[in-house]
């Protein structure tokens, strides 16, 4: 796969990340920080906060300009491959159903060390009004089973309370400050971070801002274009889309 964009810090690929991952050798990056699609059930119920979504939001699957869900089996295979490629951590936002399944049935070569939460202070409501909105997402800290885990957070917890990104160009925005914290906690200066679901580039932006290198892959060329524009903004980027 040929790079879509490359500079001294970032290499970005346009295409299916499974093709890229298959070509990457074991332990070829220091850490993975990513945000893959969630389950079909979550996608069907969720509504985008993107400014391009219609009033009332838009389901994340089965509609124009959104993306497909991922199954429990697919996420397990994907995470196992990420565990092969990383030297240390795999940090991933995940549907809580997928997160707890991985804790019960860890992928080969990885240990699930913590399931954490991001509590949203401005979540999208349930427009049907027939049940409470969820208002939080899980993310999972996994580490290679054949290496002792170390990180830069000491004994602190790793949970977040804060707003979603309401004005972004991607339907599943993650706040840049939160992703930047993951980069600082789970990697060291000069490390290489992989994000196989680059979205609009928050992990790549956070890596560069914190003195790391980054490899990203994004299947939608519109978001590749957006990533390149974000990277060109340099440290003046105070966005928050993922």
Q: Specify whether domain 3-236 bears CATH 3.40.50.150.
A: yes
Asked if 199 contacts 172 with a C-beta cutoff of 8 angstroms, the reply is yes
Diameter of the chain measured on Cα atoms: 51
Least reliable range by pLDDT among 69-73, 86-90, 115-119: 69-73
The owner of tokens 């906060």 is 49
pLDDT given at position 39: 64
pLDDT given at position 70: 79
pLDDT given at position 65: 39
Residue 81 structure tokens: 């491959």
d(CA 151, CA 142): 12
For the residues 62-78, what does the mean pLDDT come to? 70
Q: In the chain, pLDDT over 70 holds for what percent of residues?
A: 83
Residues 123-175 pLDDT 10s: 888 888 898 988 999 999 999 999 999 999 999 999 999 999 876 678 776 99
Q: What is the DSSP letter of 128?
A: T
pLDDT given at position 68: 64
């Amino acid at each position: 796969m040929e790079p879509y964009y490359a500079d001294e810090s970032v290499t970005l690929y346009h295409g299916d990340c499974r093709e890229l991952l298959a070509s990457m050798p074991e332990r070829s990056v220091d850490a993975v920080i990513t945000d893959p699609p969630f389950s079909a059930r979550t996608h069907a119920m969720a509504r985008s906060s993107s400014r391009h979504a219609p009033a009332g939001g838009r389901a994340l699957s089965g509609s124009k300009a959104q993306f497909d869900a991922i199954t429990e089996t697919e996420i397990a295979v994907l995470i196992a491959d990420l565990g092969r490629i990383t030297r240390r951590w795999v940090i991933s936002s995940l549907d809580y159903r997928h997160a707890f399944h991985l804790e019960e049935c860890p992928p080969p070569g990885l240990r699930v060390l913590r399931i954490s939460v991001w509590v949203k202070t401005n979540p999208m409501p349930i427009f049907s009004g027939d049940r409470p909105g969820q208002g939080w997402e899980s993310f999972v800290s996994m580490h290679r089973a054949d290496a002792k885990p170390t990180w830069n957070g000491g004994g602190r917890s790793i949970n977040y309370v804060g707003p979603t990104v309401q004005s972004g160009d991607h339907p599943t925005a993650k706040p840049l400050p939160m992703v930047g914290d993951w980069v600082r906690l789970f990697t060291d200066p000069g490390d290489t971070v992989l994000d196989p679901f680059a979205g609009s580039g928050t992990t790549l932006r956070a890596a560069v801002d914190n003195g790391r290198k980054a490899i990203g892959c994004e299947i939608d060329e519109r978001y590749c274009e957006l990533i390149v524009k974000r990277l060109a903004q340099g440290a003046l980027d105070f966005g928050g889309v993922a």
